[in-house]
Amino acid sequence: MKAGMEWHFGGWLHGQQPVLAWGLLGLIAIVGLGLITLSYQRTLRKLPTHARWGLTLLRTALLAGILLCLANPVRVDDSDKDKKAGRKLVVLVDRSASMDAIDNRQETRLGNALRAWRQHSPEAKEKFDQIEYIRFSTNTESFPNLDDAAKQGKAGEETHLLDAIQQTLASSPAAIVCLTDGLDTTQKDPSEITSLAQRSGIPLYFVAANNRARPGEFLNIKEIKSPSQVLRQTRFPAAVIVEAVAARDTEIPVELWSRDQKLSESKLKVRAGWNSIPWTVEVAAEEIGPMPLEFRVGSLDRQEYSASTTRIIDKTTVDILYYQGALQWGYRFLQAALQSDPSFQMASILNPALGMKMTAPAQGHAVLNDLPENADELKSYQIVVLAHAFADQLSDKQQQALIEYVRGGGGILFITPDSNASQDFAGTAIEEMLPVVFERRHRVSQEDAAAQTFQLHMQAIGGARSPDETAFAEEAMSRQEIEPLTPFAALRSSSRAKLFAPGPNAPQFSEYAKVLCAKPGAEIIAVHPRDRSPNGTPRVLIARQQFGQGFAAAMTTDLLWRWKLSLPSSARNAETFWQQFMLSLASKTPGQGLRIVRLGDSPSLSRPVTVRVEGSDHGEPPKISATTPRGVALPLVARGSNSKGTWDASFTPDQEGRWEIAAENSSGDIARISLPVSQQGKTVETVNTPADIEGMRQLAEATGGTLIDKDSAAFPSPSGDSRSMDSKRTRPLWDESSLLLLLLGFYATELVTRRCYRLL
């Protein structure tokens, strides 16, 4: 830290040359001193010598203070360390495979970007005090100079541009320059980086890496999604994700077929460069049996296709794992309601607070003595019901297993009518995935409630001695009576509202837990007809939300066993409700149908290709074959089965052209995929993907930067000398309160002294 003092002359001296300003101040000082001396040599009254010299010194000190204010002394703090840190430029050099694309002049994209940047390198050194060089592809690495960052190491197979920018923003540089073609193979949302850069106040600059290499084209079906089985006369979604590299903005046709029937068609808009586009279609289920679904992408001369099979069934089997933390009357009624329909299989784990454990396994399932700590042991169940559970009974590993199970496609139904028990789940991993927010427990209110409960219990049992105590006891006894049943209030916006529609068959509950609110995005199915939460919204009773690929639902009432007892013995209202409710929750939980996924890079001649068949029958390998471009079918050996029914097969193509891989399981489900084989494999990095000029321009302009070209300045200078303002901090000294008080003291002392000697 360097500190000094400068003179920034003020008033009518501002802007004058220092020599002239000091000369004028010196002249004023000499003239003023002479006038002061003469004025006190001749006074109206005769003064002692010491008084005359004292008054002269006081007047001289006042003049000197005024002249000092005109000189305007300023303290200057100049920190080299702060100066360097505040003006650091980070240059990101893209070293992915796409930057090595060569044009007809033998110039690579990297060379083009380096040539353009070196024209602005002197400007960068002038505007910034420190320049740091970082190369990136999948990871980032710092280098001492530009040449090392550009030449050392091997080119990466992917481009994580936005990740590299995000990591660099964390170091808080003054600006970031990216030498890149704008390709980001992670398909991360640029708006996140834009928002982060705007909040940090860090501009992004781009040097476009673009040469005359002819842009290539690439088309691939990355993934298809369809349920393994659906009920007849229902509608279900089928989706495909298409990867495409285009030389210019265009449209790609996409179609969905089932056998020889076209179910849907559309055109996907793609822009120049790399695109990853999802397309979803709602399909009407056909008659019972396998329903093949085939997505076809591209024109007839260059069409890719991928097919899977969805099985249409008349009835479905819902496997339920029921876990209950405390003995409750509702269990036997729920068990009877579900087991009256063979479509439901329920395994039970009863783990009451007394420490007892009772289990009832389901047919075809392993015996579970407690909730497992591994999510794989839950995957054979479509729904896990947590009824009357207590937070301290579920270990961290059990809760984590439940989260992984739901995130992987399972479903969980959390049931509790106890507000105290639900409050213990506030802040736990279970609450993280549920669609509701639990109320937090307050220690004081809990102790007060416990004391009041004990007082009511003792007075009600022990009898009362006074009329007031008698009335209090009678009130306590009346509270123990069974309250009337309350019907659910269904929300019309919910697709499951018909289960709770008002009427004689509507379900009714007796007890319910008070939760704070539903989470944003959750589907609220039913609410309390009268009770309201503190924010004025109705109390949520049943809600559901998507969590990962599965779902999580919460029911904050009892198991409706009192409603069952209130009905005639011949009525089946409760059974119908529970069966339909469980079906509505599990209707979207089937896994993927039979499908084939290519592993690794794009296939090329004489290099092994591995495909994976998913959704096959467990324990029995499917029949897998590869058909050559000449129509010869080659059987492949399936290997490596696991509990998911996944099998791998490999082959080495010896012909260029379109190969077809087909798989069929023992149930008759068929899947197939097209694999175009070329002399060299194609990837997004090696297909000469066009540089994303417009994307880089938008990102730069949104953050206050620009797309750097050779004809204009890279870093426009802000108003004023920003470097001196950033590195120097000034503080005027003349307007200090101590100086002003001192001058005022000189003047006041002189006036008082003159008064004493009767000069005023």
**Number of Cβ within a 10 Å radius of residue 245:** 23
Is 719 inside a domain boundary? no
Same domain, residue pair 387 and 505: yes
Is 20 inside a domain boundary? yes
Q: Is 273 exposed, middle or buried (0-12, 13-18, 19+ CB in 10 A)?
A: buried
Give pLDDT, residue 553.
92
Same domain, residue pair 174 and 87: yes
- Between CA 81 and CA 87, with CA 85 as vertex, the angle to 5 degrees is 120
How sure is the predictor about 617, in pLDDT bands with cuts at 50, 70 and 90? Answer: low
Rg (CA), the chain: 40
With tokens 């008698």, the residue in question is 470
To the nearest whole percent, how much of the chain has pLDDT over 70? Answer: 81
Give pLDDT, residue 92.
94
With tokens 């008082």, the residue in question is 752
- Residue 657 one-letter amino acid: G
- Which of left, alpha, beta for 26 (phi over 0: left; psi -120 to 50: alpha)? alpha
- Residue 536 one-letter amino acid: G
Same domain, residue pair 16 and 101: no
How sure is the predictor about 472, in pLDDT bands with cuts at 50, 70 and 90? Answer: very low
pLDDT at 175 over 90: yes
Instruction: Identify any residues that bridge with 431 across adjacent strands, giving them in sequence order.
Output: none
Give pLDDT, residue 435.
92
Same domain, residue pair 426 and 575: yes
Same domain, residue pair 564 and 494: yes
Domain of residue 624, CATH code: 2.60.40.10
Helix 18-41 and helix 49-71, axial crossing angle in degrees, nearest 10: 160
Identify the DSSP state of 76.
E
Same domain, residue pair 350 and 327: yes
**Structural domain of 376:** 318-439+482-586
Same domain, residue pair 129 and 269: no
**Number of Cβ within a 10 Å radius of residue 208:** 21
With tokens 């695109």, the residue in question is 275
Question: Can you list the alpha helix ranges (DSSP code H) found in 174-313?
Answer: 190-200
Q: With contact defined as beta carbons under 8 Å apart, do 162 and 190 qualify?
A: yes
Domain of residue 196, CATH code: 3.40.50.410
As given in the structure block, the two tokens for residue 679 are 């002399």
As given in the structure block, the two tokens for residue 225 are 């999604």
Same domain, residue pair 283 and 296: yes
pLDDT at 42 over 50: yes
Higher pLDDT, 102 or 563: 563
With tokens 């791998």, the residue in question is 648
Is 450 inside a domain boundary? no
Same domain, residue pair 240 and 297: yes
- Residue 648 one-letter amino acid: D
pTM for this entry: 0.47
How sure is the predictor about 84, in pLDDT bands with cuts at 50, 70 and 90? Answer: very low
pLDDT at 473 over 50: no
Mean pLDDT of 228-246: 82
Give pLDDT, residue 454.
46
Higher pLDDT, 20 or 686: 20
3-state secondary structure of 492: coil
Which of 526, 558, 586 is where one domain is finished?
586
Mean pLDDT of 520-538: 86
Give pLDDT, residue 540.
92
Domain of residue 488, CATH code: 3.40.50.880
d(CA 221, CA 232): 28
Look at the chain and count its residues. 760
pLDDT at 90 over 90: yes
Is 451 inside a domain boundary? no
As given in the structure block, the two tokens for residue 73 are 């002394």
Give pLDDT, residue 351.
66
pLDDT at 89 over 90: yes
Is 548 inside a domain boundary? yes
Q: Is 335 exposed, middle or buried (0-12, 13-18, 19+ CB in 10 A)?
A: middle
Q: With contact defined as beta carbons under 8 Å apart, do 547 and 496 qualify?
A: no
Distances in Å between the alpha carbon of 579 and those of 235, 288, 368?
20, 22, 24
Is 471 inside a domain boundary? no
Which of 586, 605, 622 is where one domain is finished?
586
d(CA 325, CA 430): 15
Q: With contact defined as beta carbons under 8 Å apart, do 599 and 610 qualify?
A: yes
How sure is the predictor about 106, in pLDDT bands with cuts at 50, 70 and 90? Answer: confident
Domain count, the chain: 4
Same domain, residue pair 537 and 394: yes
With tokens 């494999």, the residue in question is 681
d(CA 516, CA 739): 62
Identify the DSSP state of 583.
H
Helix 443-462 and helix 467-479, axial crossing angle in degrees, nearest 10: 110
Least confident window among 167-181, 538-552, 630-644:
630-644
Q: With contact defined as beta carbons under 8 Å apart, do 164 and 136 qualify?
A: yes
Tens-digit pLDDT profile for residues 245-267: 887 888 999 999 998 899 999 99
d(CA 714, CA 724): 20
Q: With contact defined as beta carbons under 8 Å apart, do 523 and 545 qualify?
A: yes
Give the torsion through C-alpha atoms of 182, 188, 191, 197, to 10 deg.
-70
Same domain, residue pair 522 and 491: yes
pLDDT at 721 over 50: no
d(CA 392, CA 373): 15
Same domain, residue pair 552 and 525: yes
With tokens 């009337």, the residue in question is 484
Q: What are phi and psi of 162, to 5 degrees?
A: -65, -35
**Number of Cβ within a 10 Å radius of residue 717:** 12
- Residue 567 one-letter amino acid: L
Is 132 inside a domain boundary? yes
Which of 561, 586, 611 is where one domain is finished?
586
Identify the DSSP state of 615.
S
Q: What are phi and psi of 101, to 5 degrees?
A: -65, 130
d(CA 443, CA 619): 54
Give pLDDT, residue 572.
86
pLDDT at 80 over 60: no
Give the torsion through C-alpha atoms of 192, 195, 196, 198, to 10 deg.
160
- Residue 418 one-letter amino acid: D
How sure is the predictor about 474, in pLDDT bands with cuts at 50, 70 and 90? Answer: very low
Mean pLDDT of 480-486: 68
Which of these, 592, 552, 613, lies nearest to 403 by C-alpha position?
552
Is 682 inside a domain boundary? no
pLDDT at 191 over 80: yes
Q: With contact defined as beta carbons under 8 Å apart, do 439 and 516 qualify?
A: yes
Tens-digit pLDDT profile for residues 311-368: 888 767 788 999 988 777 788 888 888 888 887 888 888 865 555 555 566 665 667 7
